[in-house]
Amino acid sequence: MSDYEDRALAVGRRIQRLRKTKHFTLDDLAAFTAELGHRVHPDSLSRIENGKRKIYIPDLLAIAEALEVPPGFLLALDTDPKVIFQVSLREDGTVAVWQDKGRPGDVVADLLRMMASGFDDNPRRVG
């Protein structure tokens, strides 16, 4: 397997892990992508998750939106344990999340903790 195939499989596994974390079936995810205007067939999703099919940009964008993550998150192949995340609330009410090198962190736990305590307008470091 080439390095590119390994990376494609890593992206597919990340999609699969997120899908399962959200308790979505392949059919659920396909339906969500269809609602967004770009249906990715369940068979295609399975093949992407298993590294058997290329992922095209429109597919990646629809899958990311359906999973409620930035497209770059699906492509982030940095496995550095010192990656942390910055989180801030934008003026329009959306949340911005971006990677920052530094101390280790668990973005999911930090986001859940912030959601439970409420967001404020100040960017803060989590992790």
Q: Which residues of 66-104 are buried (b: 16+ CB within 10 A; e: fewer)?
A: bbebeeebbeeeeeeeebbbbbbbeeeeeeeeeeeeeee
Q: What is the pLDDT of residues 50-87, one digit of tens each?
A: 999 989 999 999 999 999 988 888 887 654 444 455 56
Q: What is the pLDDT of residues 6-49, one digit of tens each?
A: 888 889 999 999 999 899 999 999 999 999 999 999 999 999 99
Give the start-to-end residue ranges of the domains of the chain: 3-75, 83-126
Cβ-contact 122, 106 below 8 angstroms: no
- pTM greater than 0.85: no
Q: Given this structure, which CATH class describes domain 3-75?
A: mainly alpha
